[in-house]
Structure 1
């Protein structure tokens, strides 16, 4: 069982420091057999590493934990088909909607999958290890802040991991990222295709690159395409060097994560020397189906409808904009969309009533329905869940935020 321990860093009292040495702190916890939640606060963000008798049992941080959770579950779904979109949403909601949400709810949600025999102990260990390593990836680069070891509620522990082994695994992966060259400093950088560059690509290859490279980060693309993220970026390096792919900074809040550099090693990390292969080969050999998704947007604001159509202006999406909720009911029945974006505050039939009516039809039991509200409005989340809403967005949202929702529920 995870239990409390006050034997490290002054019995749980916050330790305020101007500098942090994350690797040394982890090694100290490991060798001293520390138990508890090691919490580090840096500029309003927090990292949580759970230890039991010197072993790491879980880790998370406050920068988009739901996104991280979804990506790792989705990767595992390649070998566990039962982890489909609906089940992943159900698992994620277990901790997102908790009355007193804490990081350990993530672990409990994963353990629920194990107790329900949806995943095996081996799957559980692989999933948790992957989550821990991704959190360590940013944790090791923290420079300053304050830390403390605090107790946490007792939770049955399924797997324990050697801290030294995970640190070395994490550093090895960071070295692979650094070997890609100075232009690549984060897995959350976003590649965009620039069709004006002079490269030897067929029109079909250009269309595929243009449809995929529209706001997804390297890390999200790797999950979407079921590829190794390092290999995927390496396949794009020739296009990046020729200016056909432009790499932009991470979208907020991923820009709050530290960038990679060679500061974790005294020696200089060499740049990659192997051949990168054909231009964009990782994209053209991907098994991701090149299909068109039908998205219905229902909003009484023509401006908002036009903005959504602009954000999703691509051959991969057929966007149908409707500004009358009464007529939209008939159109949804006729068109069978893959996803519905639904404004909450519409006249005649509001979003809650509309969602309830749609969900009463068997054909639309599993169609994602995303409720949208203005920045001054509030969504009654309990009511939205009751009528069958899948998720929520707040206006105004960026293209990257909308594509993230598409990534989560469509692709």
Structure 2
């Protein structure tokens, strides 16, 4: 049984049509471990899941269920982070790339490439969009029970806009599925539609004003579409609705077509507690065997324009449990942080070309780094500098010069929180 999930996927090889019981996660894991490049297409009933890989890394993912709705929904959800793309631009994207017949899965990637080449989105915004598309696609893919697959070559001229390692994405998606599973048992799909049972209910727990406001909000949108419209995380939205659900004030209708074709979300009892895969995946005939687990080292990114400081940080953090990545180019630092997804960031305040406080604020505003510890490293010791660090979203403040003991204390303090 896979260490990722309890369900097994019946995989049919496009080459020889042989079958094997294989979990969805291990299918991707094998491609990642073998550094495969190509297009993985998974087919289940009338739905397909598409993943683009380059040297084992994912650089795109989408389902065949209204791909342009998925893109537009994410553009709305991240409108604060991507302010250049307003409604007329979204309409232009559809008119330029959406096909009336056939699959639009590839067309969405073409649209993303166009947005990037035309300067509507920068690298940070490109990473943000594509990563969210991949994670949303993984969410339903990992919930599959039976399917077939094909793995085909990609057009070599296809631009690679960004890349993400497979295993952290799987970990994040399984964590998200656990969060969904911890909600009301009545919720089995993010595309279910919450409705107010009656605005005139005699329930004394909620004021008429609250019920009126809630009734104006719940207009037949799915949870996922509603969350994008009001710029709120789906899980937080569900938790805010939970008191109304428990009192029978809010109820759920099934997803509208075509979203009703997606599988119910994987429940927590079918997800293994340890979702990390370490070492190579077995690619022999026994495809369901899983590799032995080892603890993943803590990834620490150090950003500084001084090679000496970076060398000292690496030397002080020279422990087996740390994987230290040093970045001296402040211009490329943001893209690298997005790609690496560190567990902790050590950030110099005074870098050329990039203000450390502004850099910290941009990283902190990204939904994937809301809780990542960011420690500012600086020679400034004034209260104003500390206040600026706090206002920019920094977790803590380390002054130069520092000792190995001081560095390890502050790193361990925030890693263990």
Q: Does 1:83 align with 2:88?
A: no
Residue 222 (structure 1) aligned to one of 227, 230, 234: 227
Could you say which residue in structure 2 is the equivalent of 1:262? 268
Q: Give how far 1:18 is off.
A: 7.5
Residue 161 (structure 1) aligned to one of 153, 160, 164: 164
Residue 188 (structure 1) aligned to one of 191, 202, 223: 191
Question: Which SS does the other structure have where 1:148 is aligned?
Answer: strand
After superposition, the C-alpha distances for 1:93-115 in whole angstroms (9 at most, x for unaligned) are: 33213897552221121121111
Mapping of residues 268-283 of structure 1, within 5 Å: none
After superposition, the C-alpha distances for 1:275-311 in whole angstroms (9 at most, x for unaligned) are: xxxxxxxxxxxxxxxxxxxxxxxxxxxxxxxxxxxxx
Could you say which residue in structure 2 is the equivalent of 1:97? 99
Question: Which SS does the other structure have where 1:219 is aligned?
Answer: helix
Q: Give how far 1:189 is off.
A: 1.3
After superposition, the C-alpha distances for 1:146-165 in whole angstroms (9 at most, x for unaligned) are: 11101222311121110111
Question: 1:199 & 1:220 partners in 2: Cα distance?
Answer: 30
Could you say which residue in structure 1 is the equivalent of 2:55? 53
Asked if the contact 1:18/1:144 (under 8 Å) is kept, the reply is no
Question: 1:116 & 1:87 partners in 2: Cα distance?
Answer: 12
Question: 2:29 & 2:108 partners in 1: Cα distance?
Answer: 24
Q: Does 1:205 align with 2:210?
A: yes
After superposition, the C-alpha distances for 1:35-57 in whole angstroms (9 at most, x for unaligned) are: 11011111121111111110111
Question: 1:199 & 1:223 partners in 2: Cα distance?
Answer: 31
Question: Which SS does the other structure have where 2:150 is aligned?
Answer: strand
Q: Give how far 1:182 is off.
A: 1.6
Question: 1:162 & 1:39 partners in 2: Cα distance?
Answer: 18
Q: Does 1:235 align with 2:240?
A: yes
Asked if the contact 1:22/1:140 (under 8 Å) is kept, the reply is yes
After superposition, the C-alpha distances for 1:164-189 in whole angstroms (9 at most, x for unaligned) are: 11111111111111111322221111
Could you say which residue in structure 1 is the equivalent of 2:109? 107
Question: 1:11 & 1:143 partners in 2: Cα distance?
Answer: 16
Question: 1:22 & 1:188 partners in 2: Cα distance?
Answer: 22
Aligned alpha-carbon RMSD (Å) = 2.3
Q: Give how far 1:145 is off.
A: 1.9
| Number of corresponding residues | 260
Distance 1:100 1:217, change over 3 A: closer
Mapping of residues 246-257 of structure 1, within 5 Å: 246-257=251-262
Asked if the contact 1:38/1:150 (under 8 Å) is kept, the reply is yes
Question: 1:88 & 1:174 partners in 2: Cα distance?
Answer: 29
Moved more, 24-33 or 200-209: 200-209
Mapping of residues 31-46 of structure 1, within 5 Å: 31-46=33-48
Could you state the TM-score of these two structures normalised by the residue count of structure 2? 0.59
Distance 1:36 1:238, change over 3 A: same
Moved more, 48-57 or 206-215: 206-215
Asked if the contact 1:70/1:92 (under 8 Å) is kept, the reply is no
Q: Give how far 1:12 is off.
A: 5.0
Question: Which SS does the other structure have where 2:85 is aligned?
Answer: coil
Could you say which residue in structure 2 is the equivalent of 1:146? 148
After superposition, the C-alpha distances for 1:194-245 in whole angstroms (9 at most, x for unaligned) are: 2225143333322221122121111111111111111111011010000010
Asked if the contact 1:46/1:61 (under 8 Å) is kept, the reply is yes
Q: Give how far 1:254 is off.
A: 1.3
Residue 178 (structure 1) aligned to one of 177, 181, 186: 181
Mapping of residues 355-394 of structure 1, within 5 Å: none
Moved more, 254-263 or 124-133: 254-263
Gaps of 5+ in 1: 1-8, 269-411
After superposition, the C-alpha distances for 1:70-128 in whole angstroms (9 at most, x for unaligned) are: 10111222222221011011113332138975522211211211111111101000100
Q: Give how far 1:19 is off.
A: 5.0
Question: 2:66 & 2:204 partners in 1: Cα distance?
Answer: 36
Distance 1:143 1:10, change over 3 A: closer
